[in-house]
């Protein structure tokens, strides 16, 4: 495990992020707390895509372009 300070991280971002991407555990310490640096997975991207699609659907509903089912329609 590699432990780095916020100052070290700022000075060596590419090196530290590359280490995390290659699978090395990286812990960042700072005044506000400790953080584990891990790369985003394909699962994270799927969740992001689903959230963005849901937000688009809500926006279209608020603009009156589509109707969304209400909870009663979904349950019964």
Over residues 49-58, mean pLDDT = 91
Q: Which pair of structure tokens corresponds to residue 34?
A: 């400790």
Residue 12 DSSP code: T
Q: Which pair of structure tokens corresponds to residue 28?
A: 């960042």
pLDDT digits (tens, 9 = 90+) for 2-39: 999 999 999 999 999 999 999 999 999 999 999 999 99
Q: Nearest-5° angle of CA 74, CA 50, CA 57? A: 60
Which CATH architecture group holds 2-37? 3-Layer(aba) Sandwich (3.40)
Judged by DSSP in three states, 47 sits in helix
Question: Residue 41: its pLDDT value, please?
Answer: 82
Domain ranges of the chain: 2-37, 42-75
Entry pTM: 0.56
Over residues 51-73, mean pLDDT = 91
CA distances from 11 to 18, 35, 57 (A): 14, 17, 42
- In the predicted model, what is the mean pLDDT of the chain? 92
With a cut of 80, say whether residue 65 has pLDDT above it: yes
């Amino acid at each position: 495990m590699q432990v780095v300070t916020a100052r070290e991280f700022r000075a060596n971002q590419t090196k530290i992020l590359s280490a995390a991407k290659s699978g090395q555990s990286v812990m960042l310490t700072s005044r506000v707390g400790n953080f584990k640096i891990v790369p985003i997975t394909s699962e994270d991207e799927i969740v992001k895509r689903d959230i963005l699609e849901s937000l688009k659907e809500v926006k279209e509903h608020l603009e009156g372009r589509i109707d969304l089912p209400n909870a009663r329609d979904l349950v019964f």
